[in-house]
Every structure is written in C-alpha cells, then in structure tokens.
Chain A
Amino acid sequence: MTSGALTPYLSMLSARFRMGLQYRSAAFAGLCTQLFWGVIRVMIFTAFYRSTTHTQAMTLSDTTTYVWLGQAMFALLPWQVDTDVQSMIKTGTVAYEMLRPVDIYWLWFSRAFAQRIAPTVLRAVPMLTVAALLLHLKPPATWQCGVAWAISTILAAVLGSAISVLMTISLLWTLSGDGVSRLLPAIAYTLSGMDVPLVFFPAWSQPLLFALPFRDLVDLPFRLYLGKFAMPQWPVLFGQELAWIIAFVLLGRFLLAIGRQRLVVQGG
C-alpha cells in the first residue's frame, strides 16, 4: 500500500479524533467521576487486604497501581456501538457510506479507533498525573516494562476498536444496537479485569480468562506494567493479542460482507 492509499482512513480518523477532543467538559466530568470511583475502589481493596489473613496474588501497592491504570484507560474498552453509524443507520444516511470509494470496514474501524483514543488521551494524561503525584500510582517496574505496557496498550486500543466495529456491524441485523451496547461492555468490563484484577478470580477460571480476548484489553497491559511477566514470555503474549486482533478483523469483514448484501435502505 502506498501512503496515498491510507489517506481516506487517516483523514476520517483525524476528523473523528478532532471531534472527540471537542468534548472537553465531558472529559473533565469523566475525569472527576473516575477519580472518585478510583478512590472508592482503592479503599475497598485496602479494607480487603486488612481483613484477610491469606497472602494474596498481588500486593496492595500493585493492586492500587492496577486500579489507577484502569481508571485512566477506562475509555479504551469497547463501550458502545459507533454512535455515528448508529444514527446513520436509523436515518438512512448510511447509504452515503456505501457510496464512498473506500473499504467500509476500515472506514468504520478508523471511526471506532478515533472514538476510543480521543477520550482516552483526554482523560489518561491528567488522571495518571494526579494518581502518580497524590494517589500512590507506581511507575512501571522497569523501563522495559514501560515499553511493553505502551505496545500492549496500543494493541489493546486496536483490539477494542475491532470489537466495537463488530458491535457496529451487528446493527445491520438489529438496527438499534441497544442490546449489544449493554451486554458486551458488561462482559468486557468483568472479563478484562477492569472490575477486579483477574488474579483474584478462582484458580479454575484462570486458563479460561487467559484464553479469552478481553484480558488483552486491560489485564495484560497492566500486568506488563507491573512487571508480572518475564521478558521471554512477552512475544507469546503480544502474539496472542495480535492473533485476537486478526481474528476480530476477519470476522468483522466477513459479517460486513454478508450484512451488506441484506442492507435495505428504506424510504424516499
């Protein structure tokens, strides 16, 4: 592919990103909410550690860092279907999307990616700053761990986008998307480790959680940050994250091709 071939997608991404940055008061409100919730979650974990006599899988200080990373990276999760596409499908304007000489999957992916990273950039930077200065967020275990965290976070953003494009594609069948917008985020929230770090789940569930794609969104990058994986393991972990990305992209493209055949744009 030449650089010109990517122009439409980058342009869509940048336009959507700039639109996302407009919502500054939403970002500020979100920041306050997430700081508040973060403090509560840290208090709950502190109470839990004080009351338990067993040794836990993670130390309290690691867990606290994990919580703050989660509060900062909150918006990376596939929270909803693409609201632009959703309203286009409701109003029939989606017809115009089909008229563009571009690959619709990557066009929607660009939108989804921008919708994930714009709010994350707006929130993560102030959140991480406040948490590092005042609320016991530790720096990465080593600088290598920091790099691994960054790579894995970028992959998480791509994976989250691929999942949300898949949710968007489901609109071609369901039209409204309210169901999938409630169900999938609830699952992703818990199984990714955003709710409770995955190491606290029962031992029998660990292989399952490990195999599912959701941990790659949250648990994997955070534990890389904390230095919980030895360096020789990294290629395998990144490989698994990448494999899920490829799987979701292929599935999305396949379903979009089928969904397009049955697309009916009604009315005048």
Chain B
Amino acid sequence: MFEDTTLPQIIVENLTKTFRVAERQAGIAGAFKGLVSRRYKSVEALKGISFTLDAGELVGYIGPNGAGKSTTIKVLSGIMVPDSGRCEVLGYVPWKQRQAYVSRIGVVFGQRTQLWWDLPVVESFELLRDIYRVPAAQYATSKSELVDLLDIGPLLDTPVRQLSLGQRMRCDLAASLIHSPALLFLDEPTIGLDAVSKLAVRDFIKKLNRERGVTVILTTHDMDDIEALCNRLIMIGGGEVLSDGTVDDLRKRVTSERWLIVDMAEAGVTIDDPDATVTESDGPRITLAFDPDQVSTAELISRLAARYPVRDLFVQNPPIESIIARLYGGER
C-alpha cells in the first residue's frame, strides 16, 4: 500500500508566500479615501520554510496565530500556490499535479466541514466514494473499519446539521479517510471539542498512525494534543521554522529546568534554598524550579526533606505550554 519508506515523504525547501492585503483607514473619511486610492500591505506568511518528513511520522506543526501554519498546510495540500521554494510530497509537486496528488492525501480543517449540511452522513461518504473513485469492495471495508474505530454507526443516517461538534468531527475524520490516503493533514482537529471528544479524536489519530502507518501532520493549539500524540514538533513563528525536533529536544533547547512540587504538612512554610527558586506557592503546595546540572534531584530532595515538614513531593518537566510560551516570547 505504501511505497519505499526510506525516502522522505515530504520535502519542503525555502517555501515563501506573501499576501497583499488592502488596508483601509478607519471612519467614513477613510472609507471614501479607499474608493480613490488603495494602500496595500504585504504580509509575509512564509519566509523560507524548510523541513523533511519520513513515512509514518506523526508531527505536530505548531505556532501562534498568524505564524503561517495553515498557509503551509494549504500549500502542502495543493490548494495554494507558493511564491517560491521547492515542495515535493509523495513524489508530487502539490499545486502542479493537483488531481493526481490529492487522491493520495486526506485533509481535515477542524473549523470547516466537508460533509454536506443537508444530507445524512452516509450520503456524503458515498459522494466522496464516487469522487475518489473508490471501488465498491474497498469502500465497504474501509467504511466499516472507520465506523467501528470512530464509533459513528448510529450517526450515519443523521443529517449533518443535527450532529454535535464532536460527532461531526468524528464523521469528518472518517470522510477524509474513505480513500485510504497515505498522508493525513489535520488542521486543528480538536478545536472546540469537549474533553471526551478530544480523547476520542486523539485516540483515533494515534491508532491510525501506529496501526495503519498513516503519516500525520497535525496543527493545533492544544498542548495536550501534542504531548499525547506527537513524537516530533515543528514550531514556526513569523513565517520561519523556530525549532524542529522531539518534544524533549525542545525542552532542552529552551531550558533544562525541572520542577519539584512539594506538599508541606502545613501551609505558610517558606523555602529558602540556594539551588532552587520558588515559582509558585499555593497553600501547602510549593513549586520549585531547579537546574539538574547544578544540583542533583536526589540531593535537593534529601536536603529539603531534612529541613522542612515535607509530606509529599514529585518531580516533573515544565509543561510544554510554558516552554512554548518562552520560545514565542523570545522571538518577539
């Protein structure tokens, strides 16, 4: 089903895209002025993005709003034509060989549905089956698999407009996979979902990647998505790649800091230690930040346990949010 897995599936080199945006001054005078002469502002959405991706990877593509995430996805999926740069996906140049290329990929835009609003879900599936020219037997297998995995059997005959957001997202995921693509782009697939639906969607994405070997590129603002799913993280900001590596690499690059969370036997204890700084104090719970290169975790723990009334303690890595916030902040 998949071709040579030793070659990179996606090669992106120096991709650039600039948008021209008409500007209008505020107020009535501004509106009239805009009738006569328009000022345009150039927005560089992509300023030379480069990365490669191998088959079977599950990559988080993250960045703040306006960083160029969606633009990249739109270029990679053949919707948008970049200004310059090279891009090869599954051996195709997406915007040049669009028709042949798009039958091999699946795309879900979390904020938009590809299902027909007025039709029962299953009719959208059948329309997609015909549009992708999926043979009847293959459609039957792939549909029953997706229905099982996503638990959407009871929803198939419901018109799409009557589905909840979580139900709709599960159906949208199924719709994007009816033609068994080798590569799946997910643009904010968990946006607006409740906790249960998020878990269901995450679980499905993980299975798809592990069991079916589908390569997944995921954009998201949800850090839990990233920690739960991604073995690799490409972070962009201002149209450039800021970092590319595993979640641990990213942690190391930004900070080697660890957190020690201590529960005291009573509230109001103040900790004073030369190797640790208090970052948060909430009743009996105190959070300390320390650098494991300066003081070993064991040493710090025994020192604190000897000096203070410690009831419980545990060590953790700073949450990915704070790492990313630091990296974003450093860029501005």
Hey, which bits of chain A sit against chain B, CB under 8 A? 4, 7-8, 10-12, 15, 19, 22, 91-93, 95-96, 98-103, 260-261, 263-265, 267-268
Contacts and interface: CB of A to CB of B under 8 A. Distances in A.
Nearest to A94: B79
Nearest to A7: B130
Contacts of A92: 109, 111-112
B132 interface: yes
Contacts, number: 77
Given A8-B131, A11-B131, A96-B109, 13 more contacts: A11-B126, A11-B130, A12-B131, A93-B114, A95-B112, A96-B112, A98-B78, A98-B79, A99-B77, A99-B102, A99-B107, A264-B80, A268-B188
A101 B74 contact: no
B112 A7 contact: no
A101 B119 CA distance: 22
Contacts of A268: 65, 70, 111, 187-188
B118 interface: yes
A11 B130 CA distance: 6
Nearest to A19: B118
B182 to A, nearest CB: 14
A174 to B, nearest CB: 14
Contact of B127 (A11, A93, A103, A261): A11
A267 B187 CA distance: 11
Interface of B: 19, 65, 70, 74, 77-81, 98-100, 102-103, 105, 107, 109, 111-114, 116, 118-119, 123, 126-127, 130-133, 187-188
B119 A15 contact: yes
B112 A101 contact: no
A95 B118 contact: no
A260 B95 CA distance: 10
B79 A95 contact: yes
Contacts of B119: 15, 19
Given A4-B133, A99-B102, A93 B113 contact: yes
Contact of B102 (A4, A100, A267): A100
6 contacts: A8-B132, A11-B126, A15-B116, A96-B109, A265-B80, A268-B188
B194 to A, nearest CB: 20
Contacts of B100: 101
A202 to B, nearest CB: 39
A4 B131 CA distance: 10
Given A91-B112, A96-B114, A102 B131 contact: yes
